[in-house]
Amino acid sequence: MKKHLRVSYNAPVSLTFSIFCSFIFLADYFIFKHKLIPLLFTVPGNKNFDWLYPFSYVRLFTHVFGHIDAAHLLGNLTFILLIGPLMEEKYGSAMIALMLTVTAFVTGMINACFIPSSLLGASGIAFMLILLASISTIEKNQLPLSFILLIAVFVLKEFISPSASNVSTIAHIAGGLCGSLFGFLVAPKTARSQKTAASKTKAQQKKQPAQQSSENSYKNSAQKDSDETIVGTIQL
């Protein structure tokens, strides 16, 4: 019998996000001739942000789908496709979607309020996932050394070699802070729920042998009773 290899859509949020970013980039490059992303997927700086224009607030969320060039896109998607599915399996698709939405809004709002240059790209999302993954195994009253080292390397990298225009260093840092906050808030709860589920599973596994032994003893006694045959009676 032949076995068929099936491709599974294992991480809906991470995959959909990556596919949509790629689609926007290709449509902007081949169809709209670099006019789509600046119009719909870029957050203007604080000097050009129109607070009275309703669609400006939409771009606070949509800017994460736009990218400057192929290198910018592929660099972000590498981290998102590498770390995103792992975090989505751990925390669930709904929680990761919420984290992406909050991170997009926070980075967009910071840029609109404080940064003079425009902002686009999923770099904040990528750094959010990196920091989230680094503390995904956090336990009570413990701070992982890997988290401290990652923060140090991350900050040094951002200030030693600043990002190019429209790829804000502040957005990277804001995304990383969002990931850290999500990790400290959500990771302990997830760990507790996993421990509770594991303890329940062990308890059920312990109960099953006891139930099976009692059932087997009952069956054996019933079988002995059925094996006793009355041949007849003698009257004196």
Read off the tokens for 183: 């990790």
- Three-state SS for 177? helix
Instruction: Answer whether 0.85 is exceeded by the pTM.
Output: no
**Site of tokens 């969320």:** 61
Domain 12-193 has CATH 1.10.3720.10: no
Weakly modelled stretches of the chain, pLDDT under 50? 166, 226-236
pLDDT digits 0-9 by tens, 119-174: 999 989 999 998 898 887 666 566 677 777 877 777 676 666 655 554 567 777 88
Beta-ladder partners of 185: none
Q: In the chain, what is the straight-line distance between the N-terminal and C-terminal CA atoms, in Å?
A: 72
Virtual torsion, Cα 167, 172, 174, 176, nearest 10 deg:
160
User: How far is residue 93 CA from its own chain's centroid?
Assistant: 7
pLDDT of 52 reads 94
Enumerate residues 6+ apart whose C-beta is below 8 A from 85.
10, 11, 14, 15
pLDDT of 172 reads 78
